[in-house]
Chain A
Amino acid sequence: MDHLDELENQSVFILREAYKKFKNLAMLWSIGKDSTVLLWLARKAFFGQCPIPLVHIDTSYKIPKMIEYRDKIAKEWGVTLVVGQNKKALDEGMNHAKGRIVCCEALKTQGLQQIMEDKGYTGLILGIRRDEEGTRAKERYFSPRDKNFEWNFKDQPPELWDQFKTTFAEGTHIRIHPLLHWTELNVWEYIDREKIPIIDLYFSNAEGKRYRSLGCAPCTFPIDSQARTVPEIIEELKSTTVSERSGRAQDQENTYAMQKLRARGYM
């Protein structure tokens, strides 16, 4: 077993635990590389099926190509897609100009909260990774959120020997993070090995730019890159010292922006 096999087997184990222990489970699909790898791993775990519905939070500001790709893959792979949107906030004119943190909370966090309440989900699978940023490095595989959607990062449950927190009080829910132990490079190496079809926004365009991380159009910026293929991206990542989320404006709003966003239920 090589390292990618180890990562894959651990993620499959976690997905199967989640599927067994949560009656009402959903998986968040941001259309990006991580959650698409997660979807692929679910098909591995369940021998070709994805018995878990996929939730996409559509802020309406996503890069248009993302929606196109989402609908195409959902159809081809026969997955159940649930789209959530905070229509009230959008009707009231919410956008990033009102403040990036405010906008993220309204359109992403509250959008997610609404669909979870509607559907009664008690378990939510997300593709976050420890190497993305500092607060995610402290996450658990099974991470509880209280009834106000909040993450109590100061009092997290112990997690040992792959015994996870799968019981919880009424009104609370659990976030499940099967990719927590992967790195950005692992994700690309796995995409390469498995030949997973990834949205082409990640590849260098005619202007010599590509997205390294995907989000809403107004707050996500491409990087300079000549990498046009998955192997070229892998080569590029091996020598870079720039962080993955440097093109994500909300992270840079203030020193503890991500901690504050995530404590209140952000992904």
Chain B
Amino acid sequence: MNDTVQLSNLSTKLMRLVIVGHVDHGKSTLVGRLLADTDSLAKGKMQFVQDICDRQGKVFEFAFLLDALEEEQEQGITIDTSQIFFKTRKRSYVIIDAPGHKEFLKNMVTGAANAEAAFLLIDAFEGVQEQSRRHGYILKLLGLTQVAVVVNKMDMVKYDPEVYYRIKAEFSSFLNPLGIEPRMFIPISAKLGVNVARRGDEMPWYKGPTILEMADQFEKRPPQDHLPFRMPVQDIYKFDPRRIVAGRVESGKVRVGDKVVFSPSNKTGVVKTIEGWSVPTPPAEACSSQSVGFTLTEQLFVERGEIVSLADQPLPIVSTTFDANVFWMGKRRLEKERNYTLKLTTQEVVCEIVGFRKVIDASTLETLGDQDYLVKNDVAELTIKTRQPVVFDQFGVIAETGRFVLVDDYDVCGGGIITTYSPTAKKDKLRDEVRLRDFHWAASKITPDQRAYRNGHRAALILLTGKAGVGKAVLAQLLEEKLFHNNFQSYLLDGRNVRLGVGADMDNDRYFGDGEAVRRFGEVAKLFLDAGHVVISTSNTFNQEDHSDIRMLAEPSPVVEILISDQPRTHGEVDIVLTPEEAGKKSETVNKIYNYLKDKKILVGHNYSI
């Protein structure tokens, strides 16, 4: 049996409404009543439910129209969210019935996350309860602020306006600090159908809209076309000669001929075509919420997870650290020193919680002391650190790219919105600098490929690392010489030389204190790399983290790290490890490095003769 009559939606868009609130406050009853009073039920459906009630010896319940599961009907509670279609004279609706029991919060979230407006139900007799408040808070976190509060079961309090006004005052003082201003408080009796589809004469003191009138007043969320363009890459298709970048436009729009930027790789390209199948003419532009695919004038290697934006619009943020408001639905605690998967648009990265700034009992808004974990159904303000950089916007700027879920084991266990980001970490600042530099870099008419052809090698950075006195400097000099005598453009960039000239404006504390030495060294190296050189570097002052920063500054040029150490423990980025004894056999070792560079196609040899 289908539950509702047919709706035509060709011309009008659908409005998605969710009904939330504490268990037993009458959500399913309200939905059932709405369906019955708008003639939205299939023939025989009322009778079908009546038969079930008769068989089970129960009084007829509207809720049974939605609570289709046997367990739901037996226990008289909604276990999982249901979606039902109905319509008014104005437009069509999907009405989402969310469970109110604390146990099923994740199902409530599932229902509410898909809605554009919410009715939050409160039992006039019981008043504001735990889930009334928690659901209010969750709505806020989901970004669902178009809310009307429904005071149900007014028949149980003899339609007393005092009760209505008391609940209105109490609940307003809870919602308003959250930034939720309810559009209306509607007193109803779902069971008797008062102020649902028809206005009763039971409450002449109430002049506001009925439920149906209120529903018609909610506004559709406007398209997000006016915001900066964001398209997370979902996949790359190569079914035929076309190489199509596929994804959904989350905000803004893109046109054929636009210059696009991929983050976090910072690659740029120009849109050649927007592809389509079974359409009369290929589209010239793609707008928000369209699932599209485009080709580029030049082929780029890009992957799922990158976010495409426009070169002449604000770029998304790239960082490994940010603050977020998170709600937790997992059976296990959310805690420090454990890995979770963070999914944001099409990105998936490993993350951990590095700070619990404020843990809140969502049913009371009480702050839970110095608690540094989060249990099921509670919310918190957190600082999250990801293993790889994530691309995002702040939730308040672009909602679609400012929210994420957390996966524990196999399941989504939490959701969050990114509230603030400030590039305080040294690495974040450096990354922002690199992006700015890359976009505004005045490119030479001579391409890196042309330089490589002329030089017989690609530009590359060779880092000799290891403790002081293991023989790095000697090796670096010999390598520079060897390359030079083989007609390659090599240059030994000494950290001391950078310090003496480029760094002459600072005292030692400032120069070495906050990463400035690394930054300046890396940027100077970058200039040599842009000129096409093989840059050899050795420095005792830089540590492991510094080398990683220098890598970031040098990209996309290849970086080769040669570590001289007798410690077996190495980190992942090292290309060659030499013991001090090996490093001592100088010419043998220089040849080894030389051959490695040939193997890596950094040295390719000269293809021309003068």
Interfacial residues, chain A to chain B (CB-CB below 8 A):
1-6, 9-10, 12-13, 16-17, 19-20, 43-49, 51, 130-135, 137-138, 140, 153-154, 156-161, 163, 165, 167-169, 181, 183-186, 189, 194, 234, 237-238, 240-246, 251, 255-256, 259
Contact = CB atoms under 8 A, between A and B. Distances in A.
Given A154-B71, A158-B107, A133 B412 contact: no
B163 interface: no
A45 B410 contact: no
B291 A184 contact: no
B293 interface: yes
Q: Closest 5 A-B residue pairs measured CB to CB? A: A134-B68, A160-B113, A158-B106, A12-B291, A3-B9
B10 A163 contact: no
A242 to B, nearest CB: 6
27 contacts: A2-B10, A4-B10, A5-B290, A9-B290, A16-B234, A16-B235, A20-B234, A44-B278, A46-B239, A47-B244, A134-B1, A135-B68, A137-B82, A137-B83, A138-B80, A138-B82, A156-B80, A157-B106, A161-B400, A161-B403, A161-B405, A165-B410, A167-B407, A189-B10, A243-B3, A245-B2, A256-B70
Given A2-B13, A43-B278, A161-B113, A238 B8 contact: yes
A193 to B, nearest CB: 9
Contact of A158 (B52, B109, B293): B109
A189 B8 contact: yes
A255 to B, nearest CB: 6
A256 B48 CA distance: 12
A47 B403 contact: no
B1 A245 contact: yes
Contacts of B14: 3, 6
B329 interface: yes
A154 B3 CA distance: 21
A167 B410 contact: yes
Given A133-B68, A160-B109, A241 B5 contact: yes
Contacts of A138: 68-69, 80-82
Nearest to A158: B106
Interface string B217-254: 00000010000000000110101001010101000000
A13 B234 contact: yes
Contacts of A242: 42-43
A159 B290 contact: no
Given A161-B403, A185-B8, A1 B287 contact: yes
B304 A20 contact: yes
Contacts of A234: 8
A158 B110 contact: yes
Given A44-B277, A137-B3, A158-B107, A6 B237 contact: no
Max chain B C-beta neighbours (<10 A), residue from A10, A140, A161, A238 = A161
A243 B88 CA distance: 20
B411 A157 contact: yes
Contacts of B291: 9-10, 12-13, 16, 45
Contact of B275 (A9, A12, A47, A243): A47
Interface of B: 1-14, 41-45, 52, 55, 66, 68-71, 79-85, 94, 106-107, 109-110, 113-114, 142, 223, 234-235, 237, 239, 242, 244, 246, 248, 275-278, 287, 289-291, 293, 304, 329, 341, 343, 400, 403-405, 407, 410-412, 415
A194 B80 contact: no
B13 A9 contact: no
B395 to A, nearest CB: 11
Contacts of B2: 131-133, 184, 243-245
B237 A47 contact: yes
Nearest to A154: B79
Nearest to B108: A158
A13 B3 contact: no
Max chain B C-beta neighbours (<10 A), residue from A6, A19, A160 = A160
A183 B277 contact: no
A143 B9 CA distance: 27
A1 B289 contact: yes
Contacts of B110: 140, 156, 158-160
B3 A131 contact: yes
B412 A158 contact: yes
Contact of B85 (A165, A183, A189, A245): A183
A178 to B, nearest CB: 11
Given A131-B4, A159-B113, A184-B6, 11 more contacts: A6-B289, A9-B248, A13-B248, A48-B278, A138-B80, A140-B110, A153-B79, A194-B278, A238-B6, A243-B2, A251-B1
A49 to B, nearest CB: 5
Contact of A163 (B71, B79, B94, B343): B343
Given A3-B10, A138-B81, A246-B1, A160 B412 contact: yes
B239 A161 contact: no
Nearest to B400: A161
Nearest to A172: B410
B12 A160 contact: no
Contacts of B44: 243
Contacts of A2: 10-11, 13
Contacts of A240: 5-6
Nearest to A48: B277
A50 to B, nearest CB: 10
A234 B10 CA distance: 11
A185 B407 contact: no
Contacts of B43: 241-243
Contacts of B114: 160
A163 B416 CA distance: 12
Nearest to B10: A189
Nearest to B71: A154
Contacts of B13: 2-3, 6
Contact of B6 (A20, A156, A168, A185): A185
Nearest to A185: B6
B12 to A, nearest CB: 7
A254 B8 CA distance: 31
Contacts of B242: 47
Given A20-B234, A183-B85, A238-B8, A243 B1 contact: yes
B405 A259 contact: no
Given A43-B278, A158-B109, A168 B410 contact: yes
Contacts of B41: 241
Contact of B223 (A1, A47, A161): A1
